[in-house]
Amino acid sequence: MSALTRTEAQLRAQALDVHHYAVALDLTVGDDTFDSTVVIRFGVRADAAADTTDTFVELKPDELRSAELDGHPLDPTGLDGNRLPLTGLTEGPHELRVDTRMRYSRTGEGLHRFTDPADGETYVYSQMFMEDIQRVFAAFDQPDLKAVFEFTVTAPAHWTVLANGITELTGRREDDGAGIWKSAPTPVISTYLAAVAAGPWHSIRTQHAGLPFGIHCRRSLAPHLDADADEILSLTTACYDRYHEKFSEPYPFDSYDQAFVPEFNAGAMENPGLVTFRDEYVFRSAVTDTERQRRAMVIAHEMAHMWFGDLVTLRWWDDIWLNESFAEYMGYQTLTEATRFTGTWTEFAMERKPWGYDADQRPSTHPVAPDADAVPDTASALLNFDGISYAKGASTLRQLVAWLGEKDFLAGINTHFTRHKFANASLADFVDSLAAHTDRDVHAWADIWLRTTGADTLTPRIQDSTDGPAGWTLTVDRAGTRPHHIAVGAYDRHSDDTLEARAPLTLDLPTDEVVSVSGPRPALLLLNDGDLTYAKVRLDDTSVATALSSLSRIPDPLTRAVVWNSLRDMVRDGELAPATYLGAVEAHLPDETDLAVVQGVLAFAREHIALRYVTPEQRTAALATLTGTTRALLRRTEDGSDPGMRLTAVRVFVDSATQPDTLLGWLAEGTVAGGPELDPELRWRILARLCVLGAAGEAEIDAALAADPSATGEEGAARCRAALPTAEAKAAAWQRMFHDDTLSNYLFKAVAQGFWQPEQAELVRDYVPRYYPDAVALAARRGPAIGQAAGHWAFPGYAIEEDTLTAGRACLEHPDIQPSLRRKLIDQLDDLSRALHTRTP
């Protein structure tokens, strides 16, 4: 299949105006395929370069039955890969009709079909992002050829159909009662934003601000959606109202549906009028308040896309930051302003920002806004949906707001909306809109912040004054090129080891100024207090000692997050011993009150330090530190005062246990002493760990699946079976992942998660060299989504050995490696190299 190049897209956009898609889908023809017919009305511009124009339309059919251009048949055998040539087009209007049989997806691409094992009901939903509309119907598939979309969908009699516009059941087919649904026409939108979802949805509908709002999920999740419906809808409407206070352009679509769909690859997708979310956000087991906040942020993020991406759309994929960075920033900021979740930036600092820092230090790093030449085609564009485009981009915008001022920033984005609504725009267009509202040189700021890679490092230099009154001086060394507007926190330590903040300093870097401060030198000095910029922060020696001894006594959770991230960076860069970080975890986490901090620290301590950065001989002791810390958290919360903290402690204890006794006791009792009771999520988590430890087997897995015959149960059973410490279990899991090609994207992930276990290193050693050729072949057969999953979840990440690194680097030389797999391998091998370096004395 040919990836669309930027040059091809530019030429096609110069020649064509696309007006309207009338799409007819028949979802009743079978379990594997569906019928798809599209009529596209488009025009050839008068200023096209020649008397006639040659172009093409994209599609990936199971069978191309027929195609007609202006009533004249086209030869179906002319389809070349995913391109159907359209030749000799003259100036003026044209109509293309394409009739195909399409194949359903089980990988979350195109039109994904899922049958719920809980009740046998089937659901389909679209994911048309990037090139995947071509799996559903023919299209001129590029973001700057916007058009109106209308859908007619024939579906089983008891199904409901959702689409970008309001849908209506308009008739029934006589022979089987199948419903015929029609959607209202959309405003002009890009092809990747068209959407449909069909099935026997459980729906909750309401009205807000004169518009219909709805939330939808599969029927087996209905009780869980009902339990959270008020929270989801109140968050949705609160964000809607806040965006209308911020933005001068009103919400541009006729309705707002949110569908929680199964086996979704991303967190959510911003289809206008029909946002799709992974249905893990319909919580069927206990969750922490931080996880509820995360769901709320995704709701806010996707709604921000209705303006950033849907109303004003990037012209080409080099500007994905205009979509994702803005939605990420607006999601966190608006949630803080409009809902009960006022600590969102602490969660951002602990969860999202490290994602950006890590991505920005790998060989695969790229600018937030790369040059167009760096994104030559859609295949390369897909690789940039990463921690840089999301987390670093949002951090950059937060710094821009701090430097520019929120008033001028909002004025600039509103000008941007007005100038480019229902059209396309670029970085240059956006910067011009900002520049209209400030005297600051935003063009220079954008060049240095958005066109460069890497994270600056800020290091304080503190000296006691040698003459005059008692005092000290501060200078800041900056490794990097960017300007930074930051706060500098100074903290004094009292006799009871608590820390008290002084009035913060404000600095604009770079500066040659030496800041002189009266009074005693602080016990802790922190650059970027408040986390307003994107930079790695180092601590001076005195501040490191204070942090290690008194971190939990810092009064503000966001400040504690900045300090923890500084220590994290020092471990990753080989400047702080992993054991020292674990010592800080043991000393301070039992007293930590912010759940986002606890979750972020424990995740890094377990997934990176205990499982990768320490040697196999040190792993048991590292895990013991984590189980000891979580036991302390359980003791602190046994009065029921903080159920979220307690749930977090239980989860990490389970995942870190090296002996089965406590877990077997909890499983037998059906509860943790003092709570929580074991819900399905905890039961599967415990059983998975027992399988790793050899304390549970097939009989226990079968019994658990009989008790929970849901999709999540099937994933849990697949994960557990792959984790069993037997040669037979590993062989069966490998066959399922790499050779039979029947696993859905979610079941593939579950098997991969179970397969590689550091406790079973010898058992799976022979599979490490097999991984690379098998992953390359799998990605070539099954496409980008499975290729990415194979690179992420199935990579032998615990084989921290030079041989793994050498074989991986050789694999990267493979001439036909699928791009999404290649990108994942580059990142995995860099992480593996870093782990090897960290282990080196």
Q: Are residues 242 and 194 both part of a single domain?
A: no
Domain's final residue, options 525, 555, 576: 576
Number of domains making up the chain: 4
Is 639 a domain residue?
no
Task: Write out 437-452 in H/E/C secondary structure.
Answer: CCCCCHHHHHHHHHCC
Cβ–Cβ under 8 Å, residues 676 and 646: yes
How far is the first Cα of the chain from the last one, in angstroms, to the nearest whole number?
48
Cβ–Cβ under 8 Å, residues 388 and 359: yes
HSE of 652 in the Cβ direction (CA atoms, 13 Å)?
A: 30
Element (H, E) at 206: strand 202-208
What is the token pair recorded at 85? Answer: 């040539």
Q: Dihedrals φ, ψ of 742, to 5°?
A: -105, -10
Can you tell me the distance from the alpha carbon of 171 to that of 563, in angstroms, rounded to the nearest whole number? Answer: 62
Q: Are residues 415 and 564 both part of a single domain?
A: no
Element (H, E) at 748: helix 745-755
Cβ–Cβ under 8 Å, residues 542 and 521: yes
Q: Are residues 460 and 440 both part of a single domain?
A: no
pLDDT at residue number 148: 98
What is the token pair recorded at 12? Answer: 């096609």
Reported as a single tens digit per residue, the pLDDT across 248-301 is 999 999 999 999 999 999 999 999 999 999 999 999 999 999 999 999 999 999
Can you tell me the distance from the alpha carbon of 265 to that of 42, in angstroms, rounded to the nearest whole number? Answer: 32
What is the token pair recorded at 372? Answer: 């167009």
- How sure is the predictor about 518, in pLDDT bands with cuts at 50, 70 and 90? confident
Mean pLDDT of all residues in the chain? 96
- Strand-pair category, 92-103 with 83-89: unpaired
Can you tell me the distance from the alpha carbon of 392 to that of 370, in angstroms, rounded to the nearest whole number? Answer: 13
Q: Give catalytic residue positions.
A: 302
Reported as a single tens digit per residue, the pLDDT across 381-409 is 888 899 999 999 999 999 999 999 999 99
The mean per-residue pLDDT over the stretch 598-610 comes to 98
The mean per-residue pLDDT over the stretch 228-253 comes to 98
| The CA-based dihedral angle spanning residues 458, 459, 464, 468, taken in that order and rounded to the nearest 10 degrees | -30
Q: Which residue reads 């994904």 in tokens? A: 112
pLDDT at residue number 201: 98
Q: Are residues 10 and 143 both part of a single domain?
A: yes
Residues 6+ apart with CB under 8 A from 445: 400, 403, 483
Cβ–Cβ under 8 Å, residues 812 and 822: yes
Reported as a single tens digit per residue, the pLDDT across 659-705 is 999 999 999 999 999 999 999 999 999 999 999 999 999 999 999 99
pLDDT at residue number 497: 81
pLDDT at residue number 514: 87
Q: Name the nearest CA neighbour of 646 among 335, 313, 377, 286.
A: 286
Residue 345 structural domain: 220-252+280-445
Longest dimension (CA), the chain: 97
Percent of the chain whose predicted confidence (pLDDT) is above 90: 93
The mean per-residue pLDDT over the stretch 571-589 comes to 96
Task: Check pLDDT > 90 for residue 172.
Answer: yes
Cβ–Cβ under 8 Å, residues 315 and 143: yes
DSSP state of 758: G
Q: Are residues 179 and 295 both part of a single domain?
A: no
Q: Dihedrals φ, ψ of 380, to 5°?
A: -75, -35
Q: Name the nearest CA neighbour of 365 among 378, 356, 377.
A: 356
pLDDT at residue number 303: 98
Can you tell me the distance from the alpha carbon of 694 to that of 704, in angstroms, rounded to the nearest whole number? Answer: 16
pLDDT at residue number 484: 97
* Chain-centroid distance, C-alpha 768: 28
Beta-carbon count within 10 A of 786 CB: 28
Which residues in 256-346 belong to E strands, given as ranges? Answer: 256-261, 268-269, 274-278, 312-314
Q: Are residues 248 and 174 both part of a single domain?
A: no
Cβ–Cβ under 8 Å, residues 92 and 44: yes
The mean per-residue pLDDT over the stretch 626-636 comes to 97
Q: CA-CA distances (angstroms) from residue 837 to 571, 573, 802, 832, 834?
A: 11, 9, 11, 9, 5
Q: Are residues 367 and 471 both part of a single domain?
A: no
Residues 6+ apart with CB under 8 A from 455: 357, 360, 361, 392, 480, 534, 535, 536
Domain's final residue, options 534, 557, 576: 576
Is 824 a domain residue?
yes
Q: Are residues 332 and 375 both part of a single domain?
A: yes
Element (H, E) at 381: helix 378-382
pLDDT at residue number 836: 94
Can you tell me the distance from the alpha carbon of 457 to that of 454, in angstroms, rounded to the nearest whole number? Answer: 10
Task: Check pLDDT > 90 for residue 526.
Answer: yes
Which amino acid makes up residue 695?
A
Cβ–Cβ under 8 Å, residues 558 and 566: no
Q: Name the nearest CA neighbour of 246 among 313, 307, 311.
A: 307
Reported as a single tens digit per residue, the pLDDT across 103-143 is 999 999 999 999 999 999 999 999 999 899 999 999 999 99
What is the token pair recorded at 315? Answer: 């012209």
Cβ–Cβ under 8 Å, residues 225 and 182: no
Element (H, E) at 53: strand 53-58
Helix (H, G, I), strand (E, B), or coil: what is residue 724? coil
Can you tell me the distance from the alpha carbon of 467 to that of 791, in angstroms, rounded to the nearest whole number? Answer: 60
- Strand-pair category, 312-314 with 423-425: parallel
Is 587 a domain residue?
no
Is 215 a domain residue?
no
Reported as a single tens digit per residue, the pLDDT across 153-168 is 999 999 999 999 999 9
Q: Are residues 523 and 424 both part of a single domain?
A: no
Kindly report the CATH number assigned to the domain that includes residue 71: 2.60.40.1730
pLDDT at residue number 59: 98
Q: Which residue reads 């007293």 in tokens? A: 591
Can you tell me the distance from the alpha carbon of 587 to that of 594, in angstroms, rounded to the nearest whole number? Answer: 15
pLDDT at residue number 468: 64
Is 235 a domain residue?
yes
Is 263 a domain residue?
no
pLDDT at residue number 451: 95
Q: Name the nearest CA neighbour of 332 among 359, 351, 313.
A: 351
Q: Are residues 195 and 321 both part of a single domain?
A: no
Q: Which residue reads 């409407």 in tokens? A: 237
Cβ–Cβ under 8 Å, residues 288 and 648: yes
DSSP state of 166: -
pLDDT at residue number 49: 59
Q: Are residues 468 and 533 both part of a single domain?
A: yes
Cβ–Cβ under 8 Å, residues 25 and 196: yes
Q: Are residues 733 and 836 both part of a single domain?
A: yes
pLDDT at residue number 841: 65
Is 550 a domain residue?
yes
From the number of C-beta atoms within 10 Å of its C-beta (0-12, 13-18, 19+), residue 360 rates as buried
Cβ–Cβ under 8 Å, residues 143 and 317: yes
What are the contacts of 736-743 at 24+ separation with CB within 8 A?
737/778, 737/790, 737/794, 738/774, 738/775, 738/777, 738/778, 739/774, 741/778, 741/781, 741/782, 742/106, 743/106
Cβ–Cβ under 8 Å, residues 94 and 43: yes
What is the token pair recorded at 409? Answer: 């920033």
The mean per-residue pLDDT over the stretch 747-759 comes to 97
Reported as a single tens digit per residue, the pLDDT across 445-469 is 999 999 999 999 999 999 987 766 7
Is 266 a domain residue?
no
pLDDT at residue number 462: 94
Reported as a single tens digit per residue, the pLDDT across 327-379 is 999 999 999 999 999 999 999 999 999 999 999 999 999 999 998 889 999 98
Domain's final residue, options 527, 548, 576: 576
